[in-house]
Amino acid sequence: MHIGEYVKGGVATYLKEVIEFQKQSKDIKEVYLMLSSTNSEKNFDLPSKNIIFYDYTRSIKNSFRAILAIFKEVKRIKPDIVHVHSTFAGVFVRLPFLFRKKNYKIIYCSHGWSFLMETTYLKQKLYEIIEIILAFRTDKIVNISQNEHVRSLKKGFPSTKSILINNGIKEEVKIKEIQCRIDSNKINLLFVGRFDRQKGLDILIDLFNHYQNNNIKLYVVGDSILKNTEINIPSNVISLGWIDNDELDSYYRLFDAVIIPSRWEGFGLVAIEAMKNKKAIIVSNRGALPDLTQNNNGYVFDIEKLETLKEILNSIKKSDLEEKGINGYEFFNRNFTSERMNNEIISVYRELIN
């Protein structure tokens, strides 16, 4: 039984990959999914009886209601394994078992530790303490990147319960006819993501407001989701709007490199989508992103010193980017496929049940 809170974006993509694989696995008899009825995707390939929505929006009162609703459904279904996704769902599922016995195994994946996000020191410390306490009622903790794994162990999370399973996506590439034309004589860079503080588009916009290089062209895919995060796109940056997931591979294929200026990143899904499409990546020095350039498949810049990004942009060549794109494709196939990720998850299930 998979349980989440707001299941959208990267968490929804992850769960779709996992559910599709587990439905066909000889090791698994039945798969259930429980998630919030608000701010969650609804399109999951499961029978309607196996998808349970609970009424919820973030508040203390609704959190207690969510805990009760989840506890009731788990008690009814009696799963062997409860696989929990994201911070709030991790609290909802594990809090009731701090002082009582449970009859099933709990696997927890934060999909990006809350105490590693950009916030105040006091909040980071509070999140850290809560997660360490709840770890006592967890049978296995899945980290989605090397950075998340190493840093959580340094914080004192139990090494016997912690495991690294890199995120993965399907190798399949979907190519569709799209209405996007670029100047192939220039180096064309692509940003893909939400227009919010985490993803750091404002950092690129600030740079391109005064950066002059006629050989570089920046294109942006995405839109504002959170309130008060509207970004004014300057005239030398081209906004392509929100693109359907089925068309993203076609856009990746058009460009020379993908740029990811995130302020924090538990993994970096856009990076491996770029690698799958044989594209070099240019990433910030935050979170898991630098680890994704270990196969000479990209560049890392310091978001506190944007001169480092200017130096990269002023020196890159198309031939170098093509070579790094091939290196990234090889790196992706070795480490970040959906099949590898899912087989490792099933191995964890077997270990816990046996």
The whole-number pLDDT of residue 230 equals 62
43 and 76 inside one domain: yes
164 and 251 inside one domain: no
The whole-number pLDDT of residue 155 equals 95
Per DSSP, the residues of 210-278 read T---TTEEEEEE----STT------TTEEEEE---HHHHHHHHHHSSEEEE--S--SS-HHHHHHHHTT
42-to-7, 46, 110 alpha-carbon distances in Å: 9, 11, 21
Q: Which region among 38-42, 165-169, 320-324, 343-347 has the lowest average model confidence (pLDDT)? A: 38-42
The whole-number pLDDT of residue 232 equals 77
Six-digit token string for 152: 């959580």
Residue 63 belongs to a domain: yes
Q: What's the pLDDT tens digit per position in 7-40?
A: 988 899 899 999 999 999 999 999 999 999 998 9
The whole-number pLDDT of residue 88 equals 95
146 and 258 inside one domain: no
* Dihedral class, residue 31 (left if φ above 0, else alpha if ψ from -120 to 50, else beta): beta
Residue 38 belongs to a domain: yes
Q: What's the pLDDT tens digit per position in 56-77?
A: 999 999 999 999 999 999 999 9
* More confidently predicted of 231 and 291: 291
Q: What's the pLDDT tens digit per position in 116-134?
A: 998 899 999 999 999 999 9
42 and 124 inside one domain: yes
Confidence check: pLDDT of 234 > 80: no
The whole-number pLDDT of residue 210 equals 87
Residue 181 belongs to a domain: no
Q: What's the pLDDT tens digit per position in 171-204?
A: 999 888 888 889 999 999 999 988 888 999 999 9
136 and 205 inside one domain: no
The whole-number pLDDT of residue 212 equals 84
193 and 108 inside one domain: no
89 and 112 inside one domain: yes
- Quick count: other Cβ atoms within 10 Å of Cβ 228? 6
149 and 193 inside one domain: no
This prediction has a pTM of 0.89
37 and 161 inside one domain: yes
327 and 208 inside one domain: yes
The whole-number pLDDT of residue 353 equals 93
156 and 228 inside one domain: no
Q: How many domains does the chain have?
A: 2
The whole-number pLDDT of residue 189 equals 97
Residue 182 belongs to a domain: no
Range of the domain at 29: 2-169+337-353
The whole-number pLDDT of residue 225 equals 55
CATH value at residue 38 = 3.40.50.2000
195 and 298 inside one domain: yes
Instruction: Please provide the average confidence, as pLDDT, over all residues in the chain.
Output: 93
Q: How confident is the model at residue 111 (pLDDT cuts 50, 70, 90)?
A: very high
Rounded distance between C-alpha atoms, residue 225 and residue 8, angstroms: 12
Across 35-66, b (16+ Cβ under 10 Å) vs e yields: bbeeebeeebebeeebbbebebeeeeebbeeb
∠ Cα 262 266 271 (to 5°): 60
Q: What's the pLDDT tens digit per position in 138-175?
A: 999 999 999 999 999 999 999 999 999 999 999 999 88
Q: How confident is the model at residue 330 (pLDDT cuts 50, 70, 90)?
A: very high
Confidence check: pLDDT of 55 > 60: yes
The whole-number pLDDT of residue 29 equals 95
The whole-number pLDDT of residue 254 equals 94
The whole-number pLDDT of residue 287 equals 94
Residue 180 belongs to a domain: no
**Once rounded to an integer, what is the mean pLDDT over residues 202-218?**
90
Residue 316 belongs to a domain: yes
Residue 243 belongs to a domain: yes
Residue 174 belongs to a domain: no
Q: What's the pLDDT tens digit per position in 235-260?
A: 788 899 888 888 999 999 999 999 99
